[in-house]
Structure 1
């Protein structure tokens, strides 16, 4: 096995090939409406990894992109997990409208930052190491096909936990931050739909016959948001509300969508139980309310092992002159949650750095491709 600094030179030499992979990944639609596109990326990644000496299998799903799992080495021994996702938030046609583009140090295109750049690093570093006889740890790669939808239409969450068993540490190639934060804690996210149904009536002729679903829901919105507990890191936000049809009618129906961010499973359970109570509560006689969970991603809880892993990573980066990093807790969720749920120390946000995920302004820093490939290589060879 070459010394780390020698491997760094190989990474620099591979930059054109990495840029080509990045371009191909970005220029394929992989949104929530395009299972075929996600699965095509999975097949291409499988071929790439098989060529690098990995064995590959898939968890397949009817209504969501499949999950790729690639293994290298003796998986009966404690292994390292490299993970990320193949899907984006952008709908069909976006890749044609806004293809991969490089302008100076800015790389744009759907998913260039979140997270086709990180996936590119993962693939090429894995190949570099196996070509050089890497044997420090067995490696398991997990690439989800429906991370952006929270695995709502698949069994990927359960499959993640199954595949993670036996892992000793995890590295998620999610979106990197320009200020070099490395994530060791993420809030979980859940979203819910409340729907109130009352009795419609004419607001002028017989308003007394009506039972306003809007009025009922307004009472409930206050109850819902009162569940926020900032000291515990829990935020409850009613982000969308709708109801009624015209101003001169007592509204028969009203609904709202609620976003919940939480640090612990205990807090998530507290809020969900309270939502059930709020739905049953009646302020306006004759109005009924239902509450339905739409999506839930577990929290990436802070583990003592993750803090120690970060300290070791920081020391390794410093020894090679790579930029200093900062351990961070952030509000956005990721599949790292399933690794920490399995008790595996994990570092997240190791992918290319940039800004504005999930928007047309999304961009990634071109020079971070090689920088972060070097970082991952150093971690895997020295940690």
Structure 2
């Protein structure tokens, strides 16, 4: 009987073909029609490779979310794999050169999703899926912060023994992602009082001047020693240059490593107060993703994954990273979660986004061995 790695190496060309097929089905997060076409391609691939029919979560604004369950038994593994991308239609071409496959969403994260599908197929074909259920959770809005899929993902994952996230490995490495920062987004609206800048400026209260003070305050909240970053990434204000500005706006990004730090920053940002009379400030937003912390459950799963890697003759390292994923949600529920188990490569959200073709079978085999669990 072949091992999963033997099987996957033998079918490496079919894996690559499926990756190309899914990448060719472009799927910008905000283009429902395109995302649904990609979802149809994904359903076709899963049907062909695993014989599973999708559970469809219909959406009005975004592409429909999809879930697939394969196998029977007491052990439930959930695999997270979104199929939306940050790229507009035809913004990026798919191409193959120098042992790499380039294309929109190939690394983030369509290759990882296909590798996971083939990992489960390999286990089944090798007679090693007995006692295991695997549910693929495939949302279409992850790149937007999962506004419509978070509760759906949490509901499907509840009760799982573990969650494996097929997001790419740490760039240019094979490393898993053992912790991720939580993500917050805030919209700050500042209202002052307009006046003529030449005739009666004393009657105005400048929203732009207040905005400048608040930017300094917000950036003063940064705490790099504990991994906290606060960034005012967008700022707008005023209109005509001869008018004291009565409106200004800030867009703020927050990243934290622990929920205690999130609570501190939420209080600081939501509690922003005007520095002068005549200014009104309204803050909306909050934490869109909780941090994925190195909990005992997550640490135990990573150690199990390291043992699985050793069975393949490789060493698996782990790293804490800044960006968030849907694994943040499941980790916060107390479910053992391990991220960064997808494709290898570099260029997430960049025009040189690519995967390393030669690594595809081994990365899929690693997922298969983790799903299989420890062997007595």
TM-score computed with the length of structure 2 as normaliser: 0.92
Cα distance in 1 for partners of 2:59, 2:260 equals 30
Aligned match of 1:219: 213
Structure 2: tracts of 5 or more residues without a match:
none
Q: Tell whether 2:117 aligns with 1:123.
A: yes
Q: How do residues 104-253 of structure 1 correspond to structure 2 at under 5 angstroms?
A: 104-133=98-127, 134-152=129-147, 154=148, 156-177=149-170, 178-253=172-247
Question: Following TM superposition, by how much is the alpha carbon of 1:3 offset from its aligned partner in structure 2, in angstroms?
Answer: 5.2
1:22–1:112 CA contact under 8 A, matched in 2 = yes
Aligned match of 2:61: 63
Aligned match of 1:92: 89
Cα distance in 1 for partners of 2:113, 2:105 equals 10
Q: Which moved more, 1:353-362 or 1:52-61?
A: 52-61
Question: Following TM superposition, by how much is the alpha carbon of 1:142 offset from its aligned partner in structure 2, in angstroms?
Answer: 0.7
1:78–1:166 CA contact under 8 A, matched in 2 = no
SS in 1 for 2:28: coil
Which of 350, 374, 379 is 2:365 aligned to? 374
Question: Following TM superposition, by how much is the alpha carbon of 1:294 offset from its aligned partner in structure 2, in angstroms?
Answer: 7.3
- RMSD in angstroms over aligned alpha carbons? 1.9
Q: Tell whether 2:265 aligns with 1:267.
A: no
Q: Tell whether 2:96 aligns with 1:81.
A: no
Question: Following TM superposition, by how much is the alpha carbon of 1:303 offset from its aligned partner in structure 2, in angstroms?
Answer: 1.5
Cα distance in 2 for partners of 1:173, 1:16 equals 20
Aligned length: 371
Q: Which runs of 4+ in 1 moved over 4 A?
A: none
2:5–2:362 CA contact under 8 A, matched in 1 = no
Question: Following TM superposition, by how much is the alpha carbon of 1:372 offset from its aligned partner in structure 2, in angstroms?
Answer: 0.5
Structure 1: tracts of 5 or more residues without a match:
none
Cα distance in 1 for partners of 2:46, 2:124 equals 10
Cα distance in 1 for partners of 2:162, 2:20 equals 30
Question: Following TM superposition, by how much is the alpha carbon of 1:257 offset from its aligned partner in structure 2, in angstroms?
Answer: 0.9
Aligned match of 2:13: 16
Measured at CA, do residues 28 and 73 of structure 1 come closer, stay the same or move farther in structure 2, by a change above 3 Å? closer
SS in 2 for 1:183: strand
Cα distance in 2 for partners of 1:294, 1:248 equals 35
Q: Deviations over 1:38-86 (max 9, x none)?
A: 22222332333344243531222211222211112336x2401111110
1:42–1:66 CA contact under 8 A, matched in 2 = yes
Q: Deviations over 1:204-234 (max 9, x none)?
A: 1221121100111122222222333334332
2:169–2:342 CA contact under 8 A, matched in 1 = yes
SS in 1 for 2:80: strand
2:154–2:330 CA contact under 8 A, matched in 1 = yes
1:234–1:260 CA contact under 8 A, matched in 2 = yes
Question: Following TM superposition, by how much is the alpha carbon of 1:131 offset from its aligned partner in structure 2, in angstroms?
Answer: 3.5
